Structure 1
Amino acid sequence: MSNKTKLPVGQEAIEEFGWMYAHRFLLLRRATQFFFLAIFLLGPWFGIWWFKGNLSGSMTFNFLPLNDPFITVQSFAALHWPETTALIGAVIVGVIYALIGGRVYCSWVCPINPVTDGAHWIHEKLGMQKGWQPKHNTRYWILAMVVAVSAATGTIAWEFVNPISMLHRGLIFGMGFAWAFVVAVFLFDIFVSRRGWCGHLCPVGTFYGLLGTKSVVRISAVKRSECDDCMDCFAVCPEMHVISPALRGKDEDTALILSPDCTNCGRCIDVCAMDVFKFTHRFDDTPAPGRVQRTRTQPATGASKAA
């Protein structure tokens, strides 16, 4: 394997394009996450009530309802018929995420994402093993359990322990018990399971993944023939299993990342010095030749990046 793989993850892209360009989607994500959190704090902090509510349900400029469709599903399970405005808001949000990719919510909107990304950074700096990794279908069992508990108790069950809502409440009302849930997620991802919360357990992300199964916005390994096996894309991807089918496919295989687990975070685009990946749409039929096999002398080095 080439000496490039001995560089820190993303370093080759930084040297090729510059630091800002090699972090452009990460920076955009942090900006959007801060924006969506800040707009709901304008009212409680500054008395500017343009946006009333939070990510679970809100009224924008007193006329546009926006509601989490996962909340609505739990409401139906609990046999509570939502108000018309709540239903309209859920449909609006549901259609948007069905088109752009359900788990875009996880990487571009959810305020817990910076918390888990920070935990992952610490996990890597400490050189820790990936720890307990629940089976892939665990997330679906948790989602089903949340809906079942809502049906059994007649409540919106997840909101009692939802760290997203807890973080919002903590920022408004100050430090308190609500922060315990956020800290628990942070510590879980550091010491128990690498990327465990968002990648394996969170029912909100699982729901949005199902919602965006046929979404239009996709990432494509359109220049996969240029891949030099540096493994940086695997190292930064929160759902690294989604990359292989697109990157390592044959000529007749699509270069599109079609798995609903993909969060469309764009980090694979950021760190690729070979410019293999790009944002596109699911109907993009641009030919993408299969990878050219290259001779490597140190295959274990790159593999360690994705470990």
Structure 2
Amino acid sequence: MKASTAAPVGQEAIQAKGWLRAHRFLILRRLSQAVFLALFLLGPWFGLWWVTGTLAGSRSFGVLPLTDPLVALQSLVAGHWPAATALIGAGIVLVTYALIGGRVYCSWVCPINPVTDAAHWLHDRLGLHKGWQPKRQTRLWLLGAVLAVSALTGTIAWETVNPITMLHRGLVFGMGFAWALVGLVFVFDLLVARRGWCGHLCPVGAFYGLLGQRSLLRVSAARRAACDDCMDCFAVCPENRVIAPALRGKDGDTPLILSPDCTNCGRCIDVCSVDVFAFTHRFDTHVEDPSPPRPRTAADQAA
């Protein structure tokens, strides 16, 4: 085993770049999630109604409507034509995530993400086995089931059990059953399936993954020739199967991570001590050549 592989995950990056730079995108994601959550809580908690509603549907400053397009789609298949403002709001959100990457929602906005990340952290600290790993397509089947149930019942079915919505309602009106539901997600990821909820089951993540298939924002392994095989990027990536095609690609293969399952969380960028990864756009396919060998000096020859 290489020394770099045996070292704790991210340790090399901390030594090479410093703790702050080795955690910058993680910190920014937590701030982003906290800000989005705080905007919704300012009204009921402090009377500052800048944003009303939840992530399912909201209005900002009394003007800008935003609607979760999955909620709008459930409403349509249930036979209920949404109001014009709801359709406009869904269109705004749909275009935004289609451009920047659908599953950016999962890593930068969704309040359940810190819960599942905490479960994964504890899972690793306890040295537990990865457990049951549902197939990738499971969340797509669940997404189809959500739409089918909505059509059959004439309701926006998923919102009755959506942990995201339940967490929002719980923080505003008192947690009650919401605590139990969020706790079940945590326990599921901790004891049943490592990264099971977001990575394999959540129909919201499946929907946003489909939405962002042609998105502009991408992570690139443009400096893949510098990779020292420490494996830290695979250890921290919530969807680590998306890394290999870009990182291990042959000459002529794109260095871009093009899988819609990528959440653009930036952790691979954080933990890479040799800066293999970077954010870019989907048309940036350049691959940097390996650094030329350092010329041998007289001191080297003497040694």
Please state which band the TM-score falls in when normalised by the shorter chain: over 0.9
After TM superposition, give the deviation of residue 288 of structure 1 in Å.
4.3
Q: Is the 8 A contact 1:250 1:289 kept in 2?
A: no
Verify: 1:195 aligned to 2:187, yes or no. no
Any residues of structure 2 matched to 1:90-109 within 5 Å, and which?
A: 90-109=90-109
Any residues of structure 2 matched to 1:115-154 within 5 Å, and which?
A: 115-154=115-154
Structure-1 separation of matches of 2:167 and 2:285: 42
Say which SS state the counterpart of residue 41 (structure 1) adopts.
Answer: helix
Q: Is the 8 A contact 2:4 2:229 kept in 1?
A: no
Aligned counterpart, 1:259: 259
Structure-2 separation of matches of 1:195 and 1:170: 24
Deviates more, 1:172-181 or 1:225-234: 172-181
Verify: 1:14 aligned to 2:14, yes or no. yes
Amino acid at match of 1:214: R
Aligned counterpart, 1:216: 216
Aligned counterpart, 1:302: none
After TM superposition, give the deviation of residue 180 of structure 1 in Å.
1.1
Amino acid at match of 2:10: G
Aligned counterpart, 1:63: 63
Structure-2 separation of matches of 1:141 and 1:11: 39
Aligned counterpart, 2:301: none
Aligned counterpart, 1:41: 41
Amino acid at match of 1:251: D
Deviation track 1:44-67 (CA, whole Å, cap 9, x = no partner) reads: 000111101010000011110001
Any residues of structure 2 matched to 1:268-283 within 5 Å, and which?
A: 268-283=268-283
Amino acid at match of 1:217: L
Structure-2 separation of matches of 1:276 and 1:99: 24
Aligned counterpart, 1:74: 74
Deviation track 1:239-295 (CA, whole Å, cap 9, x = no partner) reads: 0000000000011100000000000000000000010000000000213459xxxxx
Deviates more, 1:189-198 or 1:2-11: 2-11
After TM superposition, give the deviation of residue 224 of structure 1 in Å.
0.2
What TM-score does the superposition give when structure 1 sets the normalisation length?
0.93
Q: Is the 8 A contact 1:246 1:254 kept in 2?
A: yes
Amino acid at match of 1:108: W
Identity %: 70
Say which SS state the counterpart of residue 283 (structure 1) adopts.
Answer: coil
After TM superposition, give the deviation of residue 3 of structure 1 in Å.
1.2
What TM-score does the superposition give when structure 2 sets the normalisation length?
0.95
- Listed as ranges, the gaps of 5+ residues in structure 2 are 291-303
Amino acid at match of 1:134: P
Structure-1 separation of matches of 2:68 and 2:10: 35
Structure-2 separation of matches of 1:52 and 1:171: 14
Q: Is the 8 A contact 1:33 1:111 kept in 2?
A: yes
After TM superposition, give the deviation of residue 5 of structure 1 in Å.
1.7
Structure-1 separation of matches of 2:177 and 2:139: 25
Q: Is the 8 A contact 2:169 2:175 kept in 1?
A: no
Deviation track 1:137-156 (CA, whole Å, cap 9, x = no partner) reads: 11110000000000000000
Amino acid at match of 1:242: V
Structure-1 separation of matches of 2:255 and 2:134: 28
After TM superposition, give the deviation of residue 178 of structure 1 in Å.
1.6
Q: Is the 8 A contact 1:251 1:288 kept in 2?
A: no
Structure-2 separation of matches of 1:175 and 1:135: 32
After TM superposition, give the deviation of residue 179 of structure 1 in Å.
1.4
Structure-2 separation of matches of 1:90 and 1:172: 23
Say which SS state the counterpart of residue 218 (structure 1) adopts.
Answer: strand
Amino acid at match of 1:245: P
Verify: 1:84 aligned to 2:84, yes or no. yes
Aligned counterpart, 1:243: 243
Structure-1 separation of matches of 2:127 and 2:167: 28
RMSD across aligned positions (CA): 1.1
Aligned counterpart, 2:162: 162
Say which SS state the counterpart of residue 256 (structure 2) adopts.
Answer: coil
Aligned counterpart, 1:300: none
Q: Is the 8 A contact 1:251 1:289 kept in 2?
A: no
Q: After TM superposition, where is structure 1 displaced by more than 4 Å over at least 4 residues in a row? A: none
